Amino acid sequence: MKYKLLVSLLLITGVIQAQQNNSICITGYYAGNAERLDSFPVEKLTHLIFSFGHLKGNKLHISNAGDTACIKKMVSLKAKNPHLKIILSLGGWGGCASCSEVFSTESGRNEFANSVKELSQYFKTDGIDLDWEYPAIAGYPGHRYTAEDKRNFTLLIKSLRITLGKEKEISFAAGGFDQFIDLSVEWKEVMQIADKVYIMSYDLVHGFSTISGHHTTLFSTPQQKQSADNAVNRLLETGVPSNKIVIGAAFYARMFQVADTLNKGLYRPCSFYRGVSYSRLYDSISNDRGFIQYWDSIAKAPFAFNAERRILVSYDDAQSIKEKTEYAIRRKLGGIMFWQLADDKFNNGLLNAIYKAAAAK
């Protein structure tokens, strides 16, 4: 028993020292049940984001007992990782139907901010992340959006800071594409208040795309402008501090049915086929299933192609994760985040790849 206790203390001490020596955050979103959390190396995270709460009226609402249990489990993980911050999140794709309307009024914004404070005090969590997809531009089909969302988003961030005070983190998930950067956020005002912007530098080629490509590429290519690097450069040009920018990685793959076999399926007319978790990815794209795996040295991104079935697969792997983590450090960014922890392998997964790359620098 004494030996096990000593090993645990050494592990926690090592994690704390690694996090103190490494200035970047490692943030994971989590959409799963409480029990599975014990299967993942949460000691390698700096932030864990509960996904998702939603609006009920004007208030942030945790909708069921399973979600409540999950949040409480997350908070209990601080025993393993004392520096871990647990963040509640609003929205997600399809999860912000009434955001435009609720946040269009001062009373709606203030009631929401007060509900965040109440839930944070109840659960003993450390902040709020807004995943509104998207202010001022089309997002989930049928959800309201107006040009006024852009200003209202700023006012929402201000209301949250006034209500929560300085000790709670405020972050938001941002589309990693130019239209969002240009139209959705008043960057100078918002980033004076918010602690982090989590760039969703994945789904850059998505379920509505008609031309294939890398969905989670680090760098742009001659055929594909949208990338993590493009988003970072655009935000820096608007005056966003580099240490508040966090780039995203995908712990899942996207598969596309392409029209022909040219260019190994890249940048060809396509339709979305399906997604697959990283934990099951290599069973799906094995040679036995007719796939060949490739590396794009310009994009710094892997992909796989089945020429017979004309299926392109875009994903992150250990090498692209290493490239992204080293890029975040090199560019003095706030860190790296990913969607989502439940898609990772229990052992030697992509979270481990991020941690190893960060610790090596």
Render pLDDT for 92-132 as a digit per residue (tens, 0 to 9).
Answer: 999 999 999 999 999 999 999 999 999 999 999 999 999 99
DSSP, collapsed to helix, strand or coil, labels residue 31 as coil
Q: What is the mean pLDDT of residues 132-153?
A: 98
Name the pLDDT band for 222 (thresholds 50, 70, 90): very high
Least confident of 21-35, 113-127, 210-224, 294-308: 21-35
361 vs 16, higher pLDDT: 361
pLDDT at 22: 53
Rounded CA-CA distance 341/350 in Å is 9
Local structure of 306: helix, strand or coil: strand
**Does 70 have pLDDT greater than 80?**
yes
pLDDT at residue number 19 = 44
Q: Tell me: pLDDT of 327 over 60.
A: yes
**Residue 8: per-residue pLDDT:** 44
With left for phi above 0 and alpha for psi between -120 and 50, is residue 48 left, alpha or beta? beta
What is the pLDDT at residue 361? Answer: 74
Where is 199: in which H helix or E strand?
A: strand 196-200
Which region, left, alpha or beta, applies to residue 321 given φ > 0 means left and ψ of -120 to 50 means alpha? Answer: alpha
Question: What mean pLDDT comes out for the span 63-80?
Answer: 96
Q: Which of 298, 326, 314 is nearest to 219 (CA)?
A: 298
d(Cα 67, Cα 31) in Å, to the nearest integer?
9
Name which of 108, 112, 110, 107 is nearest 88 in CA terms. 112
* Burial per residue of 216-225, b for 16 or more beta-carbon CB atoms within 10 angstroms, e otherwise: bbbbbbeebe
Cβ contacts of 356 within 8 Å, gap of 6 or more: 322
Statement: residue 17 has pLDDT above 80: no
pLDDT at 23: 82
Helix (H, G, I), strand (E, B) or coil at 11: helix
| pLDDT above 60 for 144 | yes
Contact (Cβ atoms closer than 8 angstroms) between residue 327 and residue 245? no
Between CA 335 and CA 8, with CA 21 as vertex, the angle to 5 degrees is 105
Q: How far is CA 138 from the centre of its chain?
A: 20
Structure tokens at 8: 């645990």
Q: What is the mean pLDDT of the chain?
A: 94
Q: Are 339 and 251 in contact (CB under 8 A)?
A: yes
Give the pair of three-digit tokens for residue 47: 């932030």
- Block residue for tokens 């086929």: 273
Asked if pLDDT for residue 84 goes beyond 50, the answer is yes
| Predicted pLDDT at 16 | 45
Above 90 in pLDDT, residue 294?
Answer: yes
> What pLDDT, on a 0 to 100 scale, did the predictor assign at position 345?
98
CA angle 125, 128, 132 (to 5 degrees): 150
How far separated are the first and last CA of the chain, in Å rounded? 35
Helices 2-21, 350-359: inter-axial angle, 10-degree rounding: 70
pLDDT of 90 over the 60 cut: yes
The residue-averaged pLDDT of 266-275 equals 98
Question: Alpha-carbon distance 344 to 144, whole Å?
Answer: 33
Q: Is the pLDDT of residue 32 over 50?
A: yes
Burial class (CB in 10 A: 0-12, 13-18, 19+), 87: buried
Sorting pLDDT into bands at 50, 70 and 90, what band is 331? Answer: very high
Residues 6+ apart with CB under 8 A from 185: 135, 150, 153, 154, 174
Q: How many CB atoms lie within 10 A of CB 46?
A: 19
Q: Is the peptide bond before 140 cis (omega within 30 degrees of 0)?
A: no
Span 181-193, average pLDDT: 98
Q: At 18, is the pLDDT very low, low, confident or very high (cuts 50, 70, 90)?
A: very low
Distance CA 20, CA 109 (A): 36
Which pLDDT belongs to residue 2? 44
Q: Find out whether 280 and 227 touch, Cβ atoms under 8 Å.
A: no
SS3 category, 309: coil
Percent helix, strand and coil across the chain, each rounded to 5?
A: 40, 25, 35
Per-residue CA distances from 128 to 150, 203, 219, 243 (Å): 19, 23, 29, 18
